[in-house]
Amino acid sequence: MSDIALSPGARPVPIPVADLLPWAVFAGLILLLAIYFVGAEEGATSLISGMYVHEFVHDARHLLGFPCH
């Protein structure tokens, strides 16, 4: 057994919004990029030639309700 006990006066330290903002922006950009590749990466809006990305995210497209064929 461990001899470590919690101090009854210990409180969690709040994280300032200024420290969270860059991570929130980064996560938002990654999510927007993922939505683009799942939802719009085919046909005329394609950034990558070929059907490799479309086939890679094909099941995710159907799961999220995006039409593709």
Most confident of 14-28, 36-50, 52-66: 14-28
| More confidently predicted of 69 and 33 | 33
Residue 50 clears pLDDT 90, i.e. is over it: no
Q: Which helix (H) or strand (E) holds 16?
A: none
Cβ atoms of residues 68 and 57 within 8 Å = no
Contacts of 41 (CB under 8 A, 6+ apart): 47, 48, 53, 54, 57
Q: How far are the Cα atoms of 4, 13, 20, 55 from residue 27, in angstroms, in the given order?
A: 36, 23, 11, 25
Residue 2 clears pLDDT 70, i.e. is over it: no
Q: Reduce the DSSP state of residue 41 to 3 states and report it.
A: coil
Residue 6 clears pLDDT 80, i.e. is over it: no
